Amino acid sequence: MLPRTVEWAELADGPAVRMIDQTLLPSEERIIDCTTVAQVCEAIKVLRVRGAPAIGCCAALGIALVAARSTAPDIDQLRAELLAAHRDLAATRPTAVNLFWALERMTRVIESSTEVEATREALKQEAGAIVMDDLRRCRAIGRNGAELIGEGADVLTHCNAGALATAGYGTALGVIRSAAGIRRGIHVWVDETRPLLQGARLTAWELMKSGIPCTVICDNMAGWLMQQGRVDCCIVGADRIAANGDSANKIGTYSVAVLAAHHNIPMYIAAPLSTVDYELSTGQGIPIEERDPAEVSHLAGLAQRSATPEGAQIHSPAFDVTPAALISGIITEAGVARPPYTESLGRWRSQSGRMRGD
């Protein structure tokens, strides 16, 4: 049984944003309660909660938390507190567009607010709707993508795009989970996903909890497995997708896509339409987050001793962008988009739920 990734909780002293601390998995399953927006921001920054849809849900709940715990005497002061929280949350991670999509939805409520108590309730309701919306979208993604995975298929995935990266079902792993429910013999190759090992720590943990056979591999083993004919398809998530289909995902995804193309293996992206940034014509405009060099030098915090020489320069981008030309299909809640993506994704723009262009 997988715990809820992020949810609203009522404590004795007031509400909290509750989540499983993903930095401790798989060795410890600890549930934490954030009672301030500063704690929510810290949880997003240090990856206690991670994955584009989950970050969006967490940010929405964070805004609702500020409203619920505020002692503001009037709507003007409450709105000022909420907008300050919005700025803090928006500054946590730049690449995941779902963060800004969720904040846009909460902003609509803030801007239309006229009374303190009604605003508190409206923001709580909207945050809950965003969480439920993500669950609905992910289950639809799973159903739409399951048809792409055949009986006895070996599927390779990179990073974690499962229940832990969403409100509780998953995008890439949601597809695999749905397929495993109707077909026999499905097996998953799990890239360890350096430098933070989200595949080895999180994806393998999820799949084992779900009873889906999986095998962890080092990232640099994927090409060899493809050459040996042991990979039937690749399915990954996304943190931001440009209008033309260029997709940003965890660093290393582009390498997987190049290898898959060379070996004529289909490469699929699974993501809700809220991940599509229709304002970006290509992936060149996607901001790439640069992470702490210590995440590379100290092996995801699992070793006290540095794995690199003292003073060595380290480059630590968190994401890369896979060109649309290398993507066989983008699995969404509306269906499977095929090239050219400007047309196929464009047809579903109204279903994205994004504020701009609706």
Q: Break the chain into its structural domains and give their ranges.
A: 6-138, 145-351
Residues 6+ apart with CB under 8 A from 38: 88
Choose between 296 and 39: higher pLDDT. Answer: 39
Mean pLDDT of the chain, nearest integer:
94
State how far the Cα of 346 lies from the Cα of 358, in Å rounded to an integer: 12
Q: Is residue 137 within 8 Å of 274, Cβ to Cβ?
A: yes
Task: Specify the pTM.
Answer: 0.93
pLDDT digits 0-9 by tens, 247-279: 999 999 999 999 999 999 999 999 999 999 999
For 6-138, CATH gives: 1.20.120.420
Q: Provide the annotated active-site residues.
A: 239
pLDDT digits 0-9 by tens, 116-162: 999 999 999 999 999 999 999 999 999 999 999 999 999 999 999 99
How much of the chain, in percent, has pLDDT values that exceed 70?
Answer: 97
State how far the Cα of 198 lies from the Cα of 182, in Å rounded to an integer: 27
Task: State residue 138 phi and psi, 5-degree precision.
Answer: -65, -40
**168-190 mean pLDDT:** 97
Cross-sheet strand order for the sheet of 276-277 = 276-277, 240-242, 247-250, 319-322
Residue type, 290: E
Task: State residue 332 phi and psi, 5-degree precision.
Answer: -125, 175
Annotate the chain with three-state secondary structure: CCCCCEEEEEECCEEEEEEECCCCCCCCCCEEEECCHHHHHHHHHCCCCCCHHHHHHHHHHHHHHHHHHCCCCCHHHHHHHHHHHHHHHHCCCCCCHHHHHHHHHHHHHHHCCCCHHHHHHHHHHHHHHHHHHHHHHHHHHHHHHHCCCCCCCEEEECCCCEHHHCCCCECHHHHHHHHHHHCCCCEEEEECCCCCCHHHHHHHHHHHHHCCCEEEECHHHHHHHHHCCCCCEEEECCCEEECCCCEEEECCHHHHHHHHHHCCCCEEEECCHHHEECCCCCHHHCCCCECCCHHHHCHHHCCCCCCCCCCCCCCCECEEEECHHHCCEEEECCEEECCCHHHHCHHHHHHCCCCCCC
**Over 60: is that where the pLDDT of 309 sits?**
yes
Fold for the domain defined by 145-351: Rossmann fold (3.40.50)
